[in-house]
Amino acid sequence: MSLNNKPKKRKGFSLIEVLVAMALTTVALMGLIQLFLLGIAQNNRSDKMTNATFLAQQQIEQLRTFTADELNTLTSTLIDDPINTNQDIMVDFRRITQVQISGFSWEIRVLVFAGAQTGVTAEELIADPDNYRVRTDVSTIISR
């Protein structure tokens, strides 16, 4: 019989090592989840901005087809369109168009706001668009 007083080498990990590894993995996963959620929020914001810009450009393209007489009739009023893009009962955007005559041309300004701005008058929105978080503000000139 031989006496071997050497301690046996244990294979595997201790409980503390496993807990530390789990904690580090959890911290890393939480950071990845936060980045994922921020990416989703940013994509949602970009989608709203893209839709608002498209709606403004669409209005300008429609106004370009108007005759001089039709454009002159629009100079006295604001065009205020509630827009429902996904066919539910909620208003998604509010598009306000302002037409001003300037000699032989017309200055067009189209502002698109979130649908939540339905309780505010168009004049208030035009006077302070940044306060009401305008999604897009597009201006152009049409001449005849």
Domain boundaries, the chain: 15-143
Tell me, what amino acid is at 95?
R
Q: What digits encode the pLDDT tens for the residues 81-127?
A: 999 988 888 999 999 999 999 888 999 999 999 988 888 999 999 99
Tell me, what amino acid is at 19?
L
pTM: 0.76
Our measurement of the distance from residue 113's CA atom to the centroid of its chain's CA atoms, rounded to an integer in Å, reads 10
3-state secondary structure of 3: coil
Q: What pLDDT is attached to residue 85?
A: 86
Q: How confident is the model at residue 144 (pLDDT cuts 50, 70, 90)?
A: confident
CA distance 83 to 48: 13
Nearest to 63 by CA among 73, 50, 51, 53: 73
